[in-house]
Amino acid sequence: MGHSKTVAHAIPRRAMASSRACVAPASRAIARKGVRARSGARGDVDGAVLRAARRAGDRVREVWIETDNLQCVTTAVELGVSSTVVVSGADDAFESRVRAACAVEVLKVSEDGLRVVDASGTSTSRARVVRISTPEECEAAVRAASSSSSPDIVVMDANEDWGIIPAENLVAAYASSSSTRLFARVRDATSARTMLEALETGVDGVVLCTSDPKEVRAIDGILREHFASRDDSRVDLVAATVTDVKRVGAGDRCAVDACVNFAQGEGMLVGSFASGLFLVHAENVECGYVNTRPFRVNAGPTASYCAAPDDKTAYLSELKAGSEILCCDSHGRTRVANVARVKIERRSLVLIEARVKTTGARLAVLLQNAETVRLIRATDDRQPVSVAQLTIGDDVLVAVNDVARHTGVAVDERAWDER
């Protein structure tokens, strides 16, 4: 990594990018050609494939971009792939340009090139670099992995022409670690995908070294298409049959206005029980009575649950400007959005009860009794249906999560019930 400049990105993605010219001498030495693996250099990889599988292949990955090109930084920020920049400790001018251009966290590479540290003056270590140019160095890195217990990010900086076997060895070696994350240093988006798929589960992140903004855009596309992120994961939606629809009087209902516009077929997962949430459609369907509110979900009373990022739930009463919510469409595709505001007003409510077709579990949701409030039918066309038109026997889409919750986090309870 040497004296190159770097960006981090989370996928929530972070970022780093650089040209061959910005690679430090120590890194160039690693990239020399002609180093080949011995037949025994694979170590215990074959026997460790099952251990490697402990890390989910669809987990969120990270990207760092190592660069001397400010346009790579701004491109990463515009794409949502960067929130941290790592610069050479000796390049104060570039660090200043980055700080002036983007609201990002700035880190730097240590003088020996073996660590990435906080640039604010605390020198707190954020990652350590493991250089691999020979089979012996690869074997030493695997042995070190087996004894590592401290939370850390390890960046594998391997020979340019010999990186797949070291990546597989270290993916297997770190598979059982819940605290250490493995990154691989690469020079283009294609190589990044190879590292992210090593031993199927892949590394936890990559350091993309380029001065070409096209590579930043390319890796963003690869991540979106092939790898999970906090913004584009899925939930399983199933059918639930409506068993009752009845008015229950007035209550304090929340209209959640997001910082994004919802698409057709998209809304929020809301319900009275955390174990099963109804997909409530956004107010973006023309009805002829009032103007659409494409940013709004009329989500129900303050006590209701809603789905939040990272497999959590929140009470509607907890949402406020800046809070994160999980948007979901009729096919279960999700994305994270921020709340612009929450309007709490006294409105008449309707209680909708349903049973999950596959399990018979009983679910309920309270919503405002208005034509503009809609669920989504569990039919082939997955069309929204107003609560004013909903009848017993209709099938609607729900997300079932049969676990107990404590402060929004799933917990293992032997006995619990919601009704």
Report domain extents, the chain.
6-226, 237-411
**pLDDT score for 298:** 97
- Quick one: pLDDT at residue 9? 39
Nearest 5°: the CA angle 162, 164, 168 is 135
pLDDT > 70 fraction of the chain, expressed in percent and rounded? 77
| pLDDT top residue among 55 and 209 | 209
Residue 41 has pLDDT above 70, yes or no: no
Minimum mean pLDDT range among 30-39, 178-187, 260-269: 30-39
Average pLDDT over residues 299-323: 93
Query: Highest mean pLDDT range out of 106-120, 216-230, 356-370?
Result: 356-370
Residue 149, burial from CB neighbour count under 10 angstroms (0-12, 13-18, 19+): exposed
pLDDT for residue 413: 46
Could you tell me the sign of the dihedral formed by the alpha carbons of 398, 400, 406, 407, in that order?
A: negative
Q: pTM for the complete prediction?
A: 0.52
Residue 353 corresponds to which tokens in the numbers above? Answer: 């009860």
Rounded mean pLDDT of 130-148? Answer: 83
